[in-house]
Chain A
Amino acid sequence: MTDSHETCGCGEYRALSRRGFMSMAGAQVAAMSLPAWMPDVAYRESEDTSRDVIVSIFMRGGADGLTLVAPFADPLYYTGRPNIAVPRPDSSSPVRGVALDNFFMFPQAMLGMYPAYQAGDLAIVHATGQRFTNSRSHFEAERYMEAGKPNDYSLVTGWLARHLATSSPSRANAPLRALALGWGGTRLTLTGAPRTLPIPVPGSYNLVTPVGPQLDRMFAGAWAPARSAARDGIATVNLLKAIDFRGYRPANGATYSTTDFNQGMRSLAALIKADVGVEAAHLDIGGWDTHANQGSTSGQMHQLMTDFANGIGAFWADVVKAPTNYRVTLVAISEFGRNARENGSQGTDHGRGSVAFVLGTAIAGGRVLAQWPGLSQDVLEDGQDLKVTIDYRDILAEIVTQRLGNPNLSYILPGYTPVIRGITK
């Protein structure tokens, strides 16, 4: 499916979709005058500074951990991937990787995150994912991962939503506790969360209606989830109007690119610094389903990694790096990794273990945390995939308890007893 982006111009289509179509719709809406009925929102200083803002990033499509953070010291990596491996850091190739330690490396496309790694704010967890399901279906694996529990279709809310539902707001009167940035609706990670909305582009979130008070009144009697979406939406329009997203200037010379993901990170930075009570955000970055013509050092995955690493790197410099030091923890995960060996079309099919990224000043970073299972035939899962040796919920559990101060793990990650891996300081 990803190959079609190359052959059918879907990349252009997506570019049109997000920038062309949406920004114009936003501009059209923005050109209308603000209704006079909109009430002023009283802003207060934050009441609770003990909790980090949590940023959840989902790398949708099954991101190839063996390219994102490649094990150059494992010779079987090169044996299994004769056409798509990233060259060793000590090679003379112009597209050689950059060593993270004596075993793993970043491909050059990931260098946007390298300063955060060097500063000790970025931890990488490898051979991670879902230990207790071997699903190689995107949609099943995404569902389990976002729910926070495998093999259970009865759980219809997300792990982050349940954190929010079991914690008091970090600001009592915040109209918006959490948001999903980027094109689309509410993904499962945030499904069921109170005071939470999908807001594709915060800078153009506006409402043009002459009947606002009536709608506010009528939707008070409507059903969830339409009721909360309607009333929170009206309040949030006000909230976001007070923030100058367009004129936002990132700190520390951080530079976000023009992609949706980077612009989403930029909007999020502005939102965090505006200090309006937003305490969680979710972003999707898709396109990782690299079945054909993967392009580890140039091409589709190279571009995607560049986008991903630049967005997170800029966010780190802008929001996390001293002296800004906003209290933020960011975690990026994917539903599964990909086959250890390349397939017949210079791509990789669905696999198991992948990689996760955790960012923040309170994160024990600057290292790759892994119980490396190896890539030999006898230790590959089903003879084909990197094993998962660290369940991703170990990462989430530590963030939830240590950085979000929420002790309700049995509710947020039900049925799971996490192993503390020392991801936070």
Chain B
Amino acid sequence: MTDDESEMTEDRDVSQGRRVFLGMGAAALAATAVTSREGAAQQPPRRRADIGSVTDRLGQQAHWRSTELRLLRRITMGLTPFEVTRIGQLGFTNFLEEQLNPTSIDDTASESVLQARYPAYYYTQAQLLARDSVFWDECSRPIMRTVIERAITSRRQLEQRMVEFWADHFNIPLSTPRVVDYRDVIHRYALSTFGDLVRASMRSPAMLIYLDQVWNTKYGINENYARELMELHTVGWDGGYTQADVNALARVLTGWTMDGNRNFQYRADYHDFTAKVVMGQVFPARPPAAGTAGMDEAMNFAEFLIHHPATARFVATKLLRWFIRPDPTPAQVTAATTAFTTSNGDIKTVLRAILTPANIATAPAKLKRPFHYYVSVVRGTGAVVDAWPDPAQWDGVTGHLWDNAHAPFSWQTPDGFPDKADYWAGLMVNRWNAVSSVLGNWSGTTPGRYPRFNPALFLTTPTPLGVVTEIDRRMFGGEMSLPLRSELLSLFGSSTTANATQATLAVHLAACSPEAQYY
């Protein structure tokens, strides 16, 4: 379509555009001590950007000095004194290893509360099936609350970040079978191997329904799942397949469906036994047969996809974007991809290659998505989320995540919520309103509708400096910036003591502040 010359014109246009869009940002950067000029300068200008924001890679928070705290910000849903103390005891590597092995962390304090509060999340397939007709009124909010509250209270914080990642990677909007998928595919294999996830997802009725695989039979092809299995789940949009490959893979997948009880089932009588070629993989024609005959075709092709070099690169790069930066360097991509390939997609091995001290220390601050932000505000402020007893009624926890367009399971298309600052940043007012709802003790006569905030947590030393120091300790790991410290202190005016109203106000400003938006 374009010749070389217009390509070059395009590049000039893009770089000019960056100057236009970034000009004010750079001026603001230069004018403030909050952001590191060195950090910005260290990043060489990139002529061609990767997927992601032009605007969220402007540098680092210079006052984030500790590599351990930088790791904590990346692999948790927000700092709390517990994790800060823990990493102080264990150090970078041992803390990461502990988090990489979630079963080594006792999480009964979190899990027992959730089980008691929200049985809907734990229903078996049969129990859920029996509640199909009342699912939305009786189960949807408890399930969302479980997801939100576990992110807040679980000590397996890296696992929670990975659950969030895979829930987007294999996105399915909320439905009765999605609960089973989220629990038995996404959560179960979040730190296992990539192959485990793909194999389980291919047998997950929620996925087979959502992407129309249940309609894909030899009597009529439906390409939906075949395409997304390659494009979104494995080799990626530039993974080297063609439209003919999509169609042929759909035929390979015929017969993968479910039974009347919504369990996975292979139906040989639906399978297309004629010859197929997908991405160069040959499936010769064979005589139709019963039982599991023909099922091996999709199983074999899944292994081909799982072990394809494009898959390693696609998934490793996406994980780098998730944890490190929107524009990972070629060296970072190579290291993570190699770890993926040599470990056969072992997720822990890939994460060790990504979450290195060097990568963590140089990672530019990244805008929290609204879910991450909300959870981090609750965690940092010590607000308590009580049980929400009435699933049919609106509640302020899921409500404010809806208001931020980031309620669990609410993304309707299979690509999952965007991991891009440009998509989310515009909702800043919605974020601040969510902070008000966390700190405002708005529940009134409906206990549990909103979080419960106790300003006394910040009044152990009831002076302005005492409150600010406690905010720094709880919410920022002791690395609060000087401009924020000075803004907080000035809230107290000439007062030498601090009361609950003042403490709440200070916590509010800290939670809304620019540096609380990033991790």
Contacts and interface: CB of A to CB of B under 8 A. Distances in A.
Interface of A: 1-4, 7-10, 12-14, 16-17, 20-22, 24-26, 28-29, 32, 60-61, 132, 134-140, 149-157, 162, 165, 180, 183-187, 191-192, 196-198, 200, 205-211, 214-215, 217-230, 233-234, 236-237, 286-287, 289, 291-292, 343-345, 347, 349-350, 382, 410-411, 414-415
A197 B405 CA distance: 14
A176 B412 CA distance: 28
Given A165-B21, A185-B418, A209-B512, A154 B2 contact: no
B215 A222 contact: no
Contacts of B13: 410-411, 414
12 contacts: A1-B210, A136-B243, A154-B14, A156-B52, A205-B429, A214-B509, A215-B432, A215-B513, A221-B34, A226-B517, A237-B429, A415-B7
A81 B9 CA distance: 44
Interface in B195-226: 209-212, 215-217, 219-224
Most buried by A among B6, B429, B432, B487: B429
A24 B413 contact: no
Contacts of B265: none
B483 interface: yes
A139 B236 CA distance: 11
Given A224-B25, A291-B222, A415-B7, A344 B216 contact: yes
Interface string B373-400: 0000000000000000000001010111
Residue among B32, B365, B394 facing the most chain A CB atoms (10 A cut-off): B394
Q: Specify which of B31, B232, B421 lies most central, judged by the most chain A CB atoms within 10 Å of its CB.
A: B421
A3 B212 contact: yes
A156 B327 CA distance: 12
Interface in B460-519: 483-484, 487, 491, 505, 508-509, 512-514, 517
Contacts of A185: 405, 418, 423-427
B315 interface: no
Given A21-B399, A25-B402, A7 B209 contact: yes
A421 B37 CA distance: 50
Contacts of A206: 429, 433
| 3 closest cross-chain pairs (CB), A and B | A344-B220, A221-B32, A8-B175
A350 B505 CA distance: 53
A260 B414 CA distance: 21
Contact of A343 (B223, B244, B435, B440): B223
B223 A349 contact: yes
Contacts of A162: 17
B398 A225 contact: no
Interface string B9-53: 111011011001110110011011011000000000000111111
B285 interface: no
A137 B227 contact: yes
A208 B433 contact: yes
B451 interface: no
Contacts of B400: 25
Interface string B107-147: 00000000000000000000000000001100010000000
A77 to B, nearest CB: 19
A180 B237 CA distance: 27
A165 B55 CA distance: 15
Contacts, number: 292
B297 interface: no
A153 B350 CA distance: 25
Nearest to B48: A154
B457 interface: no
A178 B423 CA distance: 15
B419 to A, nearest CB: 12
B422 interface: yes
A225 B22 CA distance: 9
B436 interface: yes
| Secondary structure type dominating chain B contacts | helix
B51 A21 contact: no
B49 A209 contact: no
B208 to A, nearest CB: 10
B28 A220 contact: yes
B302 interface: no
A156 B216 contact: no
Given A2-B212, A20-B394, A344-B217, 4 more contacts: A16-B140, A165-B21, A192-B422, A345-B222
Contacts of A211: 491, 505, 508-509, 512
B173 A415 contact: no
A262 to B, nearest CB: 18
A26 B223 CA distance: 40
Nearest to B449: A28
A66 B34 CA distance: 55
Contacts of B512: 209, 211, 215
Given A8-B176, A136-B243, A184-B405, A415 B426 contact: no
Nearest to B23: A224
Nearest to B484: A218
Given A3-B215, A24-B394, A292-B212, A415 B509 contact: no
B25 A227 contact: yes
Given A205-B429, A215-B432, A345-B215, A17 B54 contact: no
B193 interface: no
Given A136-B243, A139-B231, A221 B53 contact: no
A210 B508 CA distance: 8
A152 B2 CA distance: 11
A344 B222 contact: yes
Contacts of B517: 222, 226
Contacts of A215: 432, 509, 512-513
Contact of A226 (B14, B423, B428): B428
A410 to B, nearest CB: 7
B407 interface: yes
Nearest to B52: A156
A156 B57 CA distance: 13
A410 B2 CA distance: 13
Nearest to B450: A28
Contact of B224 (A198, A237, A291): A291
Given A1-B212, A183-B405, A218 B483 contact: yes
